[in-house]
Amino acid sequence: MLNKPVHGKLAELEMSQAKIFLERSLESTPDGVILFDEKGRFSYVNPALLNWVGRREEDFLGKMLTEVTPPVLSPEDTKMIAERIQARIHSEVSVTAAKLNLIRADGGLIPVSYSAASVKGPGGGVQGEVVFLKNLSEQIKAEEALKKEQDFNSVIVQSSPVFIVAINAEGKVLMMNRVMLKTLGYTAEQINGLDYLSNFVPVADREMLAEVFRQLVQSHKPTLNENHVLTKDGQELLLEWHGRPIFDEKGNFDFFLGLGIDITKRKQAAERLESTTSLLDTIVDNSPFAMWVADPNGTIVRTNHSLRETLNLIDEQIIGKYNVLADTNMDKQGVMALVKGVFEKHEPARFDMLWQAEEAGDAAFRGARDLYIDVSLFPILNAEGELTQVVCQWVDVTERKQAAMALRESEEKFSKAFHTSVSMMSIGEIKTGRLLEVNECFLKTMGFKREEVINKTTSELNIWVDKNQRNTIVKTLMKNGMVRDFEVSLRTKNLQVRHVLFSMDIIKLGDKDLALSIVTDITERVQAAAERERLIADLENRTAELERFIYTVSHDLKSPLITIQEFLGLLKEDIAVRDTEQINTDIRFMATAAKRMQKMLAELLELSRIGRLDNPVEKISLEDTAREATELVAGQIRERGVKIDIQPGLPVVYGDRPRLLEVMQNLIENAVKFMGDNHQPRIEIGARQDDDITVCFVRDNGIGIESQYQKKIFELFDKLDNNSEGTGIGLALVKRIIETHQGRIWVESEGNGQGSTFCFTIAGKEELDES
């Protein structure tokens, strides 16, 4: 607030107008304005300044600069400005100009220029101070950006590998960049103001270049030309120049700017090749692999240590003597085209080959050993794309190759063993159960084609007769890692069953678990064993029968002999005493014994004939046979008054007609014989179905047979009733006949007085044919 000067009304009015004007100006200026009062306290801060420092008016008004919190100036600046304000109040200093940093509320700095002046009252005394602050932030930023840009340009110009030169209208050098100075051998001071053409251009190029400059000035267009420049020590460099005229703001020619690229290519290429060659030499010499370098004609010009060692030769024996294009090994191994390709088409090549010293085309190689080598050939080209050398690298793979060959040989052996084995062999994947390989024997035995089997599981092929056997094998394999000689049955493609011994092992192939199965077909063996068992059982039966026969003969045939002998003795005595009654008894016993003996002998003879089919097998109706048999024993039937009932349904069988007639006759006779005292004797002959089997029977209502004797009656010479006239051979005979017809005979009876049913079966035609 300005103090009121002591003037008239007009003066007051003028003052208030001036005050409004001043306040408006202060409010709208982009610069910062501060008023301090006569004591040095803030009496006004304009909005621009408040905005810069992010504070409010009340942070300042009425306060000394040192009282502003947080401080708006650094402590040093605060002290300096506060002292100046005090000095001015005491009229010691009039004006202050400084550059300061204001501290914003957020701690940021605002660079400002500070200028202050004291405000004097009408009386000439100091009434306060006015401060103008100019924000320098934008200005400083712009200055920094400019400097950066200048530095950047300078760096580019100075560090560019491109030659840069500026030449004024008079042809004097204004500037050369570092690369150009260095290459030409000058310092920046030495070239300043020198005439360019006469100092830096060889005489031969001067006229041409002068013309280029003229064109640049006239056409205002950039130029492109090649000319030589001279170094300080007189050497010439060929450069490609990009010329450009530079004009000032008014459009007048200012200076030429030339950008030059060193195109001394040939020399550079030569240098590059030289360094490449020495690098190559180093690589070749130190490579652990045998290497040689050939010239474009294929002749070896260089070898390395490893090659010499591999071949056991020295350089004199190889260099200039061996020519790869003349090596007949290459022809023999069919790789010459590849080798020629390296030399002619510059295509790198790589191949395996057997390299034999004998074939290498030079006597010196004769002592070298033969090698399996992995050969790499690559061309070395110069900058023009011309072949300068061919580098060859040999890796001796003899041992690897021999190992591979040994492996292949053993694989072949295994493969041969696998495929020619007389056991069935297969390899399958454990995880999936799929067959990966099977041998010929497998295919032949199982009746499959290879393509039907590979990649299928054995379950898919339906070869397991009993799935449980497969499961047992798998379980055992998982548990023990192998299976040995499991006896199982497999089904072939045409549904034949083969008995096999199954063995299995787990083999590892890479990361896969595979199962190798070895299966031996023992079907024939099993059949033979079964046949042998059958023959043995048969023989045992025969032997047992024979033993029993011999035994019974020793007893049963002896009995009537004893009878005859003893009664003959008694007869003599009885005749001596003329005991007629005894004589008759004696003779009767002897006669009975003789008759019995005769019958037994006849039947034994009969029995001995059975055991083979004597007569041709023919179709026989058992019903007809039953009738025929009934007629044969008609006398006995009539005598005993037995009623015979032949029921329908008796089967037609294949067999030995006379023998089967004997069976019927024996069974009917037997039934009649053991009728007992039944008043209505009756015999039924018929057939019934037991499951799928036709059972023929001869049933009587006679005395019956108790269960414990039902087996015994079929044994030779066994009879239950000593009063019967039988010899104990009849039923044994029947049994033998039935058995030769692959049948079975048995008796069913509830016991004494309950009647008996003699049952028998006869095999079908096929079964009979088989035997």
Partner 1 sequence: MKANGSPGVQPEVLLIEDDEAHAHLVIRGFVKQKLSNKIRHLTDGEMALDYLHHRGDYADLPANPCPCLILLDLRIPKVDGLEVLREIKSDNSLRHLPVVILTSSNAERDIAKAYEYHANSYLVKPLDFVKFTKMLSDLGGYWLDWNTMPFQSNRVISSKADN
The site for partner 1 (CB under 8 A) is made up of: 551-552, 554-556, 558-563, 565-570, 585, 589, 592-593, 709, 717-723
Nearer to partner 1, 469 or 585 (CB): 585
Q: Work out the number of other CB atoms within 10 angstroms of the CB of residue 508.
A: 8
CB of 722 vs partner 1, minimal distance in Å: 4
The pair of structure tokens assigned to 571 is: 């007869």
CB of 618 vs partner 1, minimal distance in Å: 39
Nearer to partner 1, 659 or 673 (CB): 673
Nearer to partner 1, 486 or 589 (CB): 589
The pair of structure tokens assigned to 60 is: 């300042």
CB of 723 vs partner 1, minimal distance in Å: 8
The Cα 296–Cα 280 span in angstroms is: 16
The Cα 488–Cα 502 span in angstroms is: 7
CB of 502 vs partner 1, minimal distance in Å: 47
Sheet holding 223-230, edge to edge: 173-176, 163-168, 253-262, 236-247, 223-230
CA torsion through residues 149, 155, 161, 163, sign: positive
Nearer to partner 1, 554 or 689 (CB): 554
Nearer to partner 1, 593 or 768 (CB): 593
Q: What are the strands, taking DSSP E only, across 7-123?
A: 32-37, 42-45, 95-103, 109-120
- Identify the helix (H) or strand (E) that includes residue 371: strand 371-381
CB of 579 vs partner 1, minimal distance in Å: 12
CA torsion through residues 258, 261, 264, 268, sign: positive
CB of 568 vs partner 1, minimal distance in Å: 7
DSSP 358: G
Q: At what angle do helices 657-673 and 622-632 cross, to 10 degrees?
A: 50
Nearer to partner 1, 156 or 562 (CB): 562
CB of 735 vs partner 1, minimal distance in Å: 18
What are the b/e assignments for 266-279, b being 16+ CB within 10 Å?
eeeeeeebeeeeee
Nearer to partner 1, 591 or 634 (CB): 591
Q: Cβ contacts of residue 314 below 8 Å, gap of 6+?
A: 308
CB of 725 vs partner 1, minimal distance in Å: 12
CB of 605 vs partner 1, minimal distance in Å: 21
Nearer to partner 1, 468 or 565 (CB): 565
Closest CA to 624 of 612, 632, 616, 635: 632
Nearer to partner 1, 418 or 717 (CB): 717
Nearer to partner 1, 414 or 551 (CB): 551
- Identify the helix (H) or strand (E) that includes residue 425: strand 424-429
Nearer to partner 1, 721 or 750 (CB): 721
CB of 583 vs partner 1, minimal distance in Å: 13
CA torsion through residues 306, 312, 317, 323, sign: negative
The Cα 238–Cα 204 span in angstroms is: 13
CB of 495 vs partner 1, minimal distance in Å: 51
The Cα 350–Cα 26 span in angstroms is: 89
CB of 751 vs partner 1, minimal distance in Å: 13
Nearer to partner 1, 213 or 567 (CB): 567
8 Å CB contact between 481 and 505 = yes
The Cα 359–Cα 370 span in angstroms is: 10
What are the b/e assignments for 345-374, b being 16+ CB within 10 Å?
eeeebeeebebbbebbbeebbeebeebbbb
CB of 757 vs partner 1, minimal distance in Å: 20
Nearer to partner 1, 669 or 718 (CB): 718
DSSP 250: T
The pair of structure tokens assigned to 74 is: 């650094």
Percentages helix, strand, coil for the chain (3-state, rounded to 5) are: 45, 25, 25
